[in-house]
A and B are shown apart, each in its own frame.
Chain A
């Protein structure tokens, strides 16, 4: 079965640079969630989209923005990167009829140097 795809899997950036993380949900899934997991921490919710509209927002810095496109893929844009942004970024997807089932992608490991 198709799973959630995230790209790139690894990304190394320098401070003050920008990064774009991409997420391709499971086919027919209409909702996408972004989570950030810092070293030794639990995943923290950043933002979610349903049918291309932002549905919820967590502790997402103003330097970050995200959107969901017409094909339901989503992109997380991160600007003015800081060392503290180094983390594993997960995307998860679900379908509105079974919204309690979130399927996670493999994550993108972002390292800011």
Chain B
């Protein structure tokens, strides 16, 4: 079975600074996807970034980037130039590759607070 672990329950960062959220996962699959979802106080689930396991290049979306280490089964999220609107719960998630069940398996989340 696949598992996703987020070892940082809470983190805090000053506005405009950079913060990194950690995530590790366990799987025997070779084809899979990894995601970071943001859940602000509104509770809406918002996709931040996606990484395909077969791609060596780390995904980047504006101020958000990942450090994907496949051998180490590590998938961290870096938020640059943090903004107050980044305050939210961040969930790391795993999905098996196409052809298999596509349910998302989430970690327990990291609550990020951006301080002014």
Contact = CB atoms under 8 A, between A and B. Distances in A.
Nearest to B107: A42
Contacts of A103: 47
Given A100-B102, A107-B44, A42 B33 contact: no
A108 B92 CA distance: 22
A48, A55, A99: most-surrounded residue (chain B CB, <10 A)? A99
A48 B101 contact: yes
B104 A102 contact: yes
Interface in A3-60: 31, 33, 35, 41-45, 48, 55-56, 58
A42 B39 CA distance: 10
B43 A45 contact: no
A68 interface: no
A100 B106 contact: no
Contacts of B91: 42-43
Contact of B104 (A41, A45, A107, A109): A45
Interface residues of B, number: 21
Interface size of A as a range: 20 to 34
Interface string B44-70: 111100101000000000000000000
Contacts of A78: none
Given A42-B109, A107-B43, A107-B44, A56 B103 contact: yes
25 contacts: A33-B102, A33-B103, A35-B104, A41-B108, A42-B108, A43-B91, A43-B104, A43-B106, A44-B106, A45-B103, A48-B101, A55-B101, A56-B101, A56-B103, A58-B103, A88-B43, A92-B45, A99-B102, A100-B33, A100-B98, A101-B47, A101-B50, A104-B44, A107-B44, A109-B43
Q: Which 9 A-B pairs have the closest CB atoms?
A: A104-B45, A42-B106, A45-B103, A56-B101, A100-B33, A99-B102, A42-B108, A43-B106, A42-B109
Interface of A: 31, 33, 35, 41-45, 48, 55-56, 58, 88, 90, 92, 94, 99-104, 106-107, 109
